[in-house]
Chains A and B, each alone.
Chain A
Amino acid sequence: MTRDRKIKIKDWRENLKQVDIVLIATAIVLVAIGVLALYAMSSGEESDGSYLKKQLVWIFIGLILMVALALFNYSSLRNYIVIIYGANILFLFTVFIKGRVALGAQRWIQVGSFSFQPSELSKILIILTLGAYLAERKGDLSDWRDVLRAVVYMIPPILLIVLQPDLGTALVLVAITIGMLMVAGITPKQILILALVAYLLIGFVIKLDLLQDYQMERLVVFFNPSVDPLGSGYNLRQSMIAIGSGGILGKGLFSNTQSRLNFLPAAVRHTDFIFAVIGEELGFIGSVLVIVIFFLIMSRVIQIAVSSRNHFGLLVATGIGSMWIFQVLVNIGMTIGIMPVTGIPLPFISYGGSAMLVNMASVGLLLSIYRRRWS
């Protein structure tokens, strides 16, 4: 073996050290589980498995995006923050002008046979812009004006998403904001005051009847699923039956009677309630496996945040982590009846192109942060 060659191998190894293998592996395993669930569902459907085909296309695009962002120096994004913020608002506006209405909401922009959901994209754009702003505070948010400015930053996109209406995504943005503010140095006292104001505002919103009927209904049904077993509570009930009936070992792949026989409606089982399909087929063992993989990916996110010597990287990683953990909590939580039914997808697993791109992009950003942790 020549010396050159040895150096080359060494370089390659050094480069490999810059790549977070566990992060990539866990993300891919989760994506694979989602694909498997879609495949299992496609067997019993009249549909030609078009969900699966479309999802595979999105995954492919997502992987390219991930690699591109991993190679890209995320820090340079700080220079385009104004543009990113502006683009976010612009995208969110377009749904009102050219949006496709589905499920009683205007959330999508149609491009060919694919539709795109700007509110999903908004999540990562918000993380970048809020991260850039908070990074300048360098871990000190003791000045109220800094906190308020951050909050004011967040109001336009959240409001636009609420108006679509897409309560679930708006809640994710709120969760991202809270997570990032916490790590950025907000004090417990400030959190308490903000919470109080938010509480009063929500009370005000309900009082003025600003929520859509179906949104109120979903909240009511969450707190008491038996009020309407065939209406809004139906999905929740059937989801719990699906997961519960999986037992310890599950009914086995392709043995999902709850979704195959449409007890879990097609409209939700590929997206919001996909965990119910996994729970039914793979049982407690499989469900916990999914949770363990999410735990692994979250531990990587936290590790990347900790290792970052750069406030921007740390905050972006925290934002992504907040987004994922909140979505995991609310999505799985709602399928097992401990969270309201809000229509938040399960990261990497739920069917949905926009969400897949955003999650893969997030992995790309995390890889980029990891690679440049010493810089």
Chain B
Amino acid sequence: MDEIGDTTQARLRIFALTVLAVFAALTIRLWFLQGVQGQEFKRLSEDNRIKQIAIHAPRGQILDRNAKPIVKNRASIILTIEPEKIDNDRLFKKVAKLLQMDQAEVTRKARSQNVNPIEPRTIKQDISPDVVAYFEEHKDEYIGVELEVRSVRDYPLGNIAAHLIGYLGELSDKERAETEFAGYDLGDLVGKGGVEKEYEDLLAGDKGTQFVEVNAAGQLLRVIDKKDAIPGNNIILTLDTDIQASAEKALVKAIARAKRDKFPRASAGAIVVMEPKGEILAMASYPTFDPEMFIGGISQANWSEMIDEKNDYPLNNRAIMSSYPPGSTFKVVSAIAGLKTGVISTGTTFVCRGRWLGLGKQWGKWCWDRSGHGRQSLEGAIRISCDTYFYEVGNMLYKRGENDLQRWARRLGVGSKTGIDLPSEVEGRVPTPAWKKELNKSWVENQQWFPGDTVNMAIGQGDLLATPLQVANMYAALVNGGVLYKPHVVKTVKGLEGRNIYRASPKKGREFDLSQDDLNVIRRGLRRVTLDGTAKGIFTGLPVTVSGKTGTSEVAGKDDYALFVAYAPAEDPKYIISIIVEQGGHGGSTAAPAAREILEDIYSSNDSDEGSKN
């Protein structure tokens, strides 16, 4: 038998201590993981296990004032790629070929960073039946690719009011950074223009969430919990699709008419029809576009067309996004400014000799009728749109030296947004001496404001710019008792179960008061425009009385722009119509007939159901 020495026993004690140390270390570490950090690891394991999948909310419908649907939803098949396939270039190539897309585009979409990393990435929407059939037959070649049904926009009336409605597009990286899109994923569809954009928050609804258990491969095992999506609200517009349709038709005809009448460059225009307290009944802009082409993402070719200057920018809503010299339609503002400042009275007359020399011989100005109109009262000057009369008014206002004309232009809404509930409205422009000085900061000799500037402005020329909507609103204020209402396109918003969650009411803006005498003179002048004035004969035979004002504005380097603004019935106006045809020539011959066509349509259908149109 071997002798086991004390030293060996001592070494075994060291061994025992080592063992003890190991167990102590393991226990301490376990306490740290399970005791101290246990909750955090529990959360991590839940994050592993439970994923959230968004349930898309059906977007709200958009209907006209008579509840006729303009925008609905329809089911569309979309193609998605599972996020765990993000490194599969071979698959991307196949998918790109299947969809006839650029491979880089497929790759970009498949790799996009989403709020929910597990959610399949949308590659293309509105997959055609051919592609669906091919895909279903060759499904096993496309592992990780799925077809899914999603709701997309449907336009039962075609592209009616396309500019006003707007269209949908995928949320961009830039937009996603904004707080307003906090709950959105890349690739979600959002309003990109018009009502779709302006009322995005009301139309979009709230996404639902499905809490699902997944395994490590990301396969869905079971649904643990579900929060239903809340559908978007339906929006009822003030728009009347019948009037809208006739406005669009009338605009196209007006442009064609201008082309026929030796204005071949006429190619664009806009029409606004509103009621006197700001409800927009129609808003047409030409050229127009088909919102259908945005479904499933607009093609590069279509997009290039949309942003090509040669095509006059079809996406541009000219009624609110373009401003023009209002021309003679502005003369009512000059008249009001003259009357309110007292430089003229309702009885004031001026003699028109064709050429006006009020600023000296070298600054002589022509009336549009070079033969002269003779002695004209205010009423007559409006009737035949005498420039000379308003040159005189402008000159007198200039001499007062208080920018009264500018002040009145602003009080009637030019130079500031009307506040309509549509995006991208422009302000127009009211030129002032200060503005001119600022504009020509580096061009000292052009800084001075001349009397001619005010005189030009008095006939709606010069640097003055107004949108067709501003012109309409200006006349609305004239006939509704001097209130500049905030125009709007949405009448009511209906939430779940048809509950009204919003109802528009007339919103008053600036107000002015005009004596009944002053108003009567101006309105008599406007009435006579269609009776025996610059739009004589155009409205004969209509079942409704029409007042209006022609405008033919000069734009440097272009043919004249044709304008007409009308209201009817003349005595108690319900409709205000503002029309512009770019490079369309004379307001009376090009634009005014469009107003007649619209009113004709309104009043022929009104014969049968007078009551329904308020």
Contacts and interface: CB of A to CB of B under 8 A. Distances in A.
Contacts, number: 152
Contacts of A165: none
B48 to A, nearest CB: 5
A316 to B, nearest CB: 13
A280 B49 CA distance: 14
Given A262-B215, A262-B217, A308-B4, A245 B30 contact: no
Given A258-B45, A287-B34, A309 B1 contact: yes
A329 B22 contact: yes
A311 B4 contact: yes
A265 B217 CA distance: 10
A27 interface: no
Interface residues of A, number: 55
A279 B30 contact: yes
Interface in B457-471: none
A328 B20 CA distance: 12
B1 A310 contact: yes
B45 A182 contact: no
A294 B9 CA distance: 22
Interface in A231-274: 238, 240-248, 257-258, 261-263, 265
B23 A291 contact: yes
A182 B15 contact: yes
B15 A185 contact: no
A312 B19 CA distance: 21
Given A241-B44, A244-B38, A338 B16 contact: no
B213 A261 contact: yes
A138 B33 contact: no
A169 B7 CA distance: 30
- What secondary structure prevails in chain B residues at the interface with A? helix
B513 interface: no
Given A138-B3, A306-B12, A329-B26, A263 B48 contact: yes
B15 A183 contact: yes
Given A321-B15, A325-B18, A375-B1, A261 B26 contact: no
A291 B27 contact: yes
Contacts of A308: 4
B129 interface: no
A366 interface: no
Contacts of B15: 179, 182-183, 302, 305, 318, 321-322
Interface string A280-307: 1001100110010011001100100110
B216 interface: yes
A135 interface: yes
A241 B133 CA distance: 44
B30 A287 contact: yes
Given A246-B34, A263-B216, A338-B29, A302 B41 contact: no
Given A183-B12, A294-B23, A336-B29, A245 B44 contact: yes
B34 A279 contact: yes
B37 interface: yes
A182 B16 CA distance: 12
A139 interface: yes
B8 A183 contact: yes
Contacts of B25: 329, 333, 338
A343 to B, nearest CB: 18
Contacts of A280: 45
A274 B12 CA distance: 31
A333 B26 contact: yes
Contacts of B214: 261
B33 A336 contact: yes
B217 A139 contact: no
A109 interface: no
Contacts of A325: 18-19, 22
A37 B5 CA distance: 43
Report, as a range, how many residues of chain B touch the other chain: 35 or more
Contacts of B183: none
B90 interface: no
A302 to B, nearest CB: 5
Contacts of A321: 15, 19
B40 interface: yes
A312 B29 CA distance: 36
Given A244-B44, A261-B215, A263-B48, A332 B38 contact: no
Contacts of B42: 244-245, 247
A139 to B, nearest CB: 5
Contacts of A323: none
B34 A247 contact: yes
A314 B11 CA distance: 12
B31 to A, nearest CB: 6
B541 interface: no
A244 B37 contact: yes
B2 A138 contact: yes
B39 interface: yes
B35 interface: yes
A139 B7 CA distance: 8
Contacts of A288: 27, 30
Contacts of B39: 247
A289 to B, nearest CB: 11
Nearest to B2: A311
Contacts of A240: 33, 41
B35 A284 contact: yes
A61 B38 CA distance: 39
B221 interface: yes
Interface-central residue, B7, B34, B48, B49, by most chain A CB under 10 Å = B34
B26 A314 contact: no
Nearest to B31: A284
Contacts of A298: 19, 23
Nearest to B9: A306
B14 interface: yes
A47 B270 CA distance: 72
Contacts of A179: 15
A336 B26 contact: yes
Contacts of B216: 238, 261-263, 265
Interface-central residue, A139, A185, A245, A247, by most chain B CB under 10 Å = A245
Contacts of A291: 23, 26-27, 30
Interface-central residue, B2, B18, B49, B213, by most chain A CB under 10 Å = B2
Contacts of B49: 257, 261, 263
B12 A139 contact: no
Given A139-B4, A245-B41, A261-B214, A284 B26 contact: no
A332 B29 CA distance: 10
Given A257-B48, A261-B221, A262-B216, A243 B1 contact: no
Given A279-B33, A284-B35, 16 more contacts: A243-B34, A244-B41, A245-B42, A247-B42, A248-B35, A258-B45, A261-B48, A279-B30, A279-B34, A299-B19, A302-B12, A310-B1, A328-B26, A336-B30, A336-B33, A337-B29
9 contacts: A183-B12, A244-B40, A244-B41, A261-B215, A265-B216, A279-B30, A302-B12, A306-B12, A337-B29
Interface of B: 1-5, 7-9, 11-12, 14-16, 18-19, 22-23, 25-27, 29-31, 33-35, 37-42, 44-46, 48-49, 213-217, 221
Q: What are the 3 tightest A-B residue pairs by CB atom distance, in nearest-first order?
A: A244-B41, A247-B38, A245-B45
